[in-house]
């Protein structure tokens, strides 16, 4: 099995997580020149505060020999059949193994954001919320890069990562994904609506294989033609 | 200071986000009174609450919404303006309770089941409230039953449904169908990044709003 010597659950040093104020501004529809000194200082201060609250944790498992059914757009892992849809199934079709992962930064950043919202500090709450999202995305980036750097030594490549709720893969499949993971994976619970708690968590799949490729995400692959998040990149 | 001047002061504070004297923002107004102090002072002067609401708060938030639609300001400035408006509204609350000041109507809003994204929904809620509506915010991950309960508790309310994930558009479709079945006649407005005018037609909602300001225009037209 690939990565056999790696622990299946580990914590990351929050110092390794790389987030910038530009990304937070982007989340508010702004670029650096749009922000005044007050806002820039507030964001920098909030980033430092949130880093103190974050408790990064990553849990994963690796399933070898996945059953990939392009006709029915499904992926079989152990006893579970995932309805991953056209885009995800196609991206993973050359996988020899699949990494199933879920990671979180814990509850505390989310709780701070909620507290700020309750205290009528909507801007501070929004910034905290965006920083929480950036921190957990950065954690997944860190994990993805880590897996990639470990496997490159064995000439194994990694795919893009895919999460329930995106690229046409129904969010309801979250339950199946967690059934493949170890119980109490980083303390993440899945609600009846298939959402993860703590909210600042990300789950998903990464394909591994000698012939797999990681591509830039292409909005053109998505079927939501009129989505306002859609970009024109080819 | 006469009535017109103090109304203008309140409106300026809301438009530029000066909450109160202690607030550091905007830097150009540091140390000056804010929406909080001016509203209190206006009421003490005998300015009618309805005039403060219509001529200062709603008109200021209308300008804020327009500037946001035109991308002249961004989410942070809108939130700071909403906070300033909230500080002024605190002083008007007793007049809403007594019935002396009436709102335009009730607007129930929530992010649909399966979706936890609330930023867009919160922005719409704040701008709609600033436009003189009573907003009932059901939060995120809201199922049909909760919307229907809120509609039954608030007859005549208009409902807003928000979604960010493309995969929760199906959830929105189901909730619209459930509400239309159980509460015929209720007006439904949808919004969120993946939805569109075409999707509104497909699922049988009454209106689609691409931004908070358009939502206000739609709501106002529904009660006109």
pLDDT tens digits along A63-114: 999 999 999 999 999 889 999 998 899 999 999 999 999 999 999 999 999 8
HSE toward the beta carbon, residue A154, CA cutoff 13 A: 14
Q: A67-69 and A74-77: which strand pairing?
A: antiparallel
Supply the mean pLDDT for chain A: 86
pLDDT at A158: 95
Helix (H) or strand (E) holding A203: strand A201-209
B125-161 pLDDT, tens digit per residue, is 988 988 889 999 999 999 999 999 999 999 999 999 9
Which residues of chain B fall short of a pLDDT of 70?
A: 167
**Binary contact (B141, A34; C-beta < 8 A):** no
pLDDT at A70: 93
Q: Which of B73, B81, B63, B69 is nearest to B26 (CA)?
A: B81
Which of B102, B105, B221, B207 has its CA nearest to residue B160? Answer: B207
- How many whole angstroms separate alpha carbon A25 and alpha carbon A160? 25
Residues of A whose CB is below 8 A from B70: none
- Judge contact between B206 and B180, C-beta under 8 A: no
Answer whether residue A233 shows pLDDT above 60: no
In this predicted model, what pLDDT tens digit does every residue of A163-215 receive, in sequence order?
998 888 888 899 999 999 988 889 999 988 788 999 999 999 999 999 998 87
Whether residues B114 and A227 touch (CB distance < 8 A) is answered with no
Q: Within 10 A of A232 (CB to CB), how many other CB atoms are there?
A: 6
Q: How do the domains of chain A map onto residue ranges?
A: 9-221
Q: What is the pLDDT of residue A9?
A: 61
Residue A162 has pLDDT above 90, yes or no: yes
d(CA A166, CA A87): 10
CATH T-level assignment (fold) for domain A9-221: NADH Oxidase (3.40.109)
Residues of B within 8 A of A224 (CB-CB) are 166, 169, 194
Map tokens 């501004």 to a residue. Answer: A25
Distance between CA atoms of residues B172 and B168, nearest Å: 6
| A7 at B interface, C-beta within 8 A | no
Tokens of A72: 């029915």
With CB atoms and an 8 Å threshold, state whether B199 touches A168: no
B107: helix, strand or coil: strand
DSSP B112: B
Q: What does the pLDDT read at residue A234? A: 43
* Inter-chain CB proximity B24 and A38 less than 8 Å: yes
Closest Cα in chain B to A170: B167
Encode B124-157: b = buried (16+ Cβ within 10 Å), e = exposed: bbbbbbbbbbbbbbbebbbbbebbbebbeebeeb
Q: Looking at this predicted complex, what is its ipTM?
A: 0.76
- CB atoms B83 and A122 under 8 Å: yes
Q: Taking the CA of residue A21 as centre, how many other CA atoms within 13 Å lie in the half-sphere pointing to its CB?
A: 17
Percent of chain A with pLDDT over 70: 87
> Which domains, ranges and CATH numbers included, belong to chain B?
3-98 (1.10.1240.10), 106-223 (3.40.50.280)
pLDDT in the model for residue A1: 45
Please tell me the predicted confidence (pLDDT) of residue A42. Answer: 94
A222 interaction partners in chain B (CB closer than 8 Å): 166
Residues of A in contact with B115 (CB under 8 A): 195
Q: Which residue has the higher pLDDT, B173 or A7?
A: B173
Cβ pair B198:A199 closer than 8 A: no
Q: Can you give the pLDDT at residue A12? A: 66
Task: List the single residue in B with minimal CA-CA distance to A194.
Answer: B114
């Amino acid at each position: 099995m690939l990565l056999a010597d790696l622990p299946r659950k580990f914590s990351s040093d929050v110092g390794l997580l790389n987030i910038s104020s530009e990304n937070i501004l982007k989340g508010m529809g702004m670029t650096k020149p749009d922000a005044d000194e007050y806002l820039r200082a507030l964001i920098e201060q909030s980033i430092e505060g949130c880093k103190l609250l974050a408790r990064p944790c990553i849990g994963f498992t690796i399933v070898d020999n996945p059953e990939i059914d392009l006709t029915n757009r499904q992926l079989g892992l152990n006893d579970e059949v995932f309805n991953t849809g056209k885009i995800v199934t196609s991206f993973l079709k050359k996988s020899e193994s699949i990494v199933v992962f879920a990671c979180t930064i814990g509850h505390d950043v989310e709780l701070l954001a909620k507290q700020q919202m309750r205290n009528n500090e909507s801007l501070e709450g929004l910034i905290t919320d965006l920083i929480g999202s950036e921190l957990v995305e950065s954690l997944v980036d860190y994990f993805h890069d880590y897996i990639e750097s470990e496997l490159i030594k064995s000439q194994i490549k990694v795919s893009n990562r895919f999460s329930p709720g995106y690229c046409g893969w129904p969010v309801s499949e979250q339950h199946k994904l967690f059934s493949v993971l170890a119980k109490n994976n980083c303390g993440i619970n899945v609600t009846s609506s298939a959402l993860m708690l703590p909210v600042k968590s990300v789950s998903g799949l990464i394909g591994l294989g000698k012939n797999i490729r990681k591509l830039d995400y292409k909005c053109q692959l998505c079927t939501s033609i009129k989505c306002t998040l859609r970009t024109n990149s080819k | 200071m006469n009535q017109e001047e103090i109304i203008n002061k309140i409106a300026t504070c809301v438009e530029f986000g000066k909450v109160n004297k202690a607030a550091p923002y905007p830097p150009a107004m540091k140390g000056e009174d804010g929406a909080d102090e001016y509203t209190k002072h206006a009421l003490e002067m005998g300015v009618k609450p309805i005039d403060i609401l219509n001529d200062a708060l709603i008109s200021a938030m209308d300008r804020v919404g327009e500037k946001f639609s035109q991308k002249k300001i961004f989410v942070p400035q809108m939130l700071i303006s909403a906070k300033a408006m909230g500080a002024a509204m605190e002083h008007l609350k007793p007049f809403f309770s007594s019935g002396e000041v009436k709102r335009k109507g009730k607007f129930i809003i929530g992010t649909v089941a399966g979706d936890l994204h609330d930023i867009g929904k919160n922005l719409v809620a704040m701008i709609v409230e600033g436009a003189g509506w009573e907003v009932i915010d059901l939060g995120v991950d809201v199922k049909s039953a909760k919307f229907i309960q809120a509609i039954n508790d608030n007859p005549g309310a208009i409902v807003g449904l928000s979604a960010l994930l493309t995969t929760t558009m199906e959830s929105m479709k189901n909730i619209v169908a459930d509400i239309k079945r159980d509460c015929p006649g209720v007006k439904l407005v949808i919004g969120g990044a993946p939805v569109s005018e075409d999707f509104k037609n497909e699922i049988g909602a009454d209106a689609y709003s691409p931004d908070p300001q358009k939502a206000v225009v739609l709501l106002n037209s529904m009660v006109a």
